[in-house]
Structure 1
C-alpha cells in the first residue's frame, strides 16, 4: 500500500471532539466570531499578550497562554500546545518586506515538531494591481506595497512548515466586512470615491464566514493549498459604497477624479484605489465546501440592517 504524505492528508473522520486542540495565534475579530461554535466542539487555546484579553476569552470558553510574537523565548510556551493551528496574527505595521513575527512562530513550531495542520489568513493584496482581471490562485504574486510584501514573506515562511510535513493552507482574504464593519463613518463624512471611468474592482468577505472558511481549511484543505477567500460579489469600489449608502438611507459619496482623490484621501485609502482585481473563488467553493451564511453584499447588508434594528 502506498503511504500518503502527511501534508496531503485530510482531517480524519470524527476528529472533532473536546479532547482535540486548536491553537489560535491572533485571536482577534475573525477568530472571536468563530468561538461560539468552535469552543463547544474542540479545546481552544489562544495566545494572548495581556491579562485583559485572557479574561474576556476565558468567558468564551478559551484557555489562554501568555506569549508574544515579538518575544521569541515566550513562544516555547505555545509551540507544543496543539496539533492544529490558526495563524491570524498580522505582520508589523511598518518595516521592510519581511514578517519577523511569522518567521518566529514558524521557527518555534518547527522546533516543537507537534503541529500537524496550520491555516494562515493572508491578504489578496499579494497579487498587486491586476487591472480589473479575474484572478485565480495561480496568478504570480506582485505585491505593490511594503504592507503586501510582508504578507508574501509570511506566506513563504509558513510554506517552510509544509516541507516538514505540516499540512499548510493559506486563505487570501480581501476586505473584511460584517454588520459592524461597514464604511458608515466614511459615508457620513462624505469621503469621495473614484469617478466610474477611473474606478477599481474591490472584493470582500464576511468576517464570520472567513472564520468558517478557516475551519474548513483545517478540516479539508490539501497540504500546501492556497484559496481566494472571497464572497460572490462583483462590484467596483464606488458601486459598493453606493450600495451601502442606499441600504442605510445615507447620501451616496461624491465621485472625483484620481487626481482630486489624492488631495482628499489618506495614503492608505489611496493605496486600495490603486489596485483592481476580481478574485476567482471557485477553488474555495469546490474544495472547502463551506456553507457561507452571507455569500454576497446584499446578504451582508440585510444582516446588518436586522442587527441595527434589534
Structure 2
C-alpha cells in the first residue's frame, strides 16, 4: 500500500527539502522502491535537486508543473496534464536515461524517483486559491486540487513524499489533505521549533473539520552539531514542547527520531543535481561524522521511518479489530 508523507516546517533553512530528497534517493536507489516526490514549495529546491535547472525550465515552459495545475483551477484552463507532468527517472543517481524509461516493458521493475515539479509561479497562485471554489461552481475545494487530480497517480508508487512550503496556506493544506502522516524536520533550537505548535494546531483543526486520518509520524533532527550547547539544550526541551503542543488535541506525542542528520558539507552538496556522482555513497559522503560514514545516515533514517510506519499499520489493524468487535 502506498505511504504518503508530507515534510513541513514553518522555518526555512532547516534541511526540510534536503531530508525529503535524501529519503527519496535512499528508498529508491538502495531500497528499490518506487518513489514519487511532489514539490509544493515555490522555492522549487526539491525540483532543482532532482532534475536540474534545464529540465525544470522545460517543464515550466510547457505548463507541466504543479503551479500550472493550480492556475488551471483559478483561470478555468486545462493546460496541466498529470500523466505528462510526471518526470520519470529523476535524481542524478538514476541508472536509466529518462528518455528510455517510457520504452521499457511493463514487467520491468526497478527502484526510481519520479517527480511532479514545482514552479516559482506558486507564489502568485497562493493568493488566488480562494477563487477555485467559485470558478469550479463549488465542484473543487481549494484544499482538494491535489486529491482530485494527482492522488489517482499514487497507486503506482510505494512512497509519495510531499515537500510542503514553509506556511500553512492552501497549497500546504493540499499536501496534508492526501497524506497519511507528516514529518517535522528541524534543527533543535528555539527558532527552528518555534512554529511547531502552529503546525500542530492547524493540522488538528483541518483534520477534525475534514475528517482526515493524518498524524505526525515524528520529528527529524537536522543539521545536528553534537558540540553545540544550544542544540543540546534544545534537544532536552523538545520532548516537553512536543507534549505541550499535541496533548490539547488528544494526540500522542510523536517520537523524536533517533537518527540525527548531521551538519555536513556532503549533505549540503548532495542537492546539487549537476554534481557528477558515481553512486549513493559518493553523493552523500564517505567522511566520518558522529562515529560513522555520512552516507549511512540516509539508510538509518529510512529504516527507522519504515519501522514507525509498520507500527502505525499494526496499531491501525488492532484499532479496526477492536472497533468491529465492539459493534458485534
Q: With structure 1 as the length reference, what TM-score do the two structures score?
A: 0.41
Q: Which has the higher strand share?
A: 1
Q: TM-score, normalised by structure 2?
A: 0.39
Higher helix share: 2
Q: Which has the higher contact order (CA 8 A, sep 6+)?
A: 2
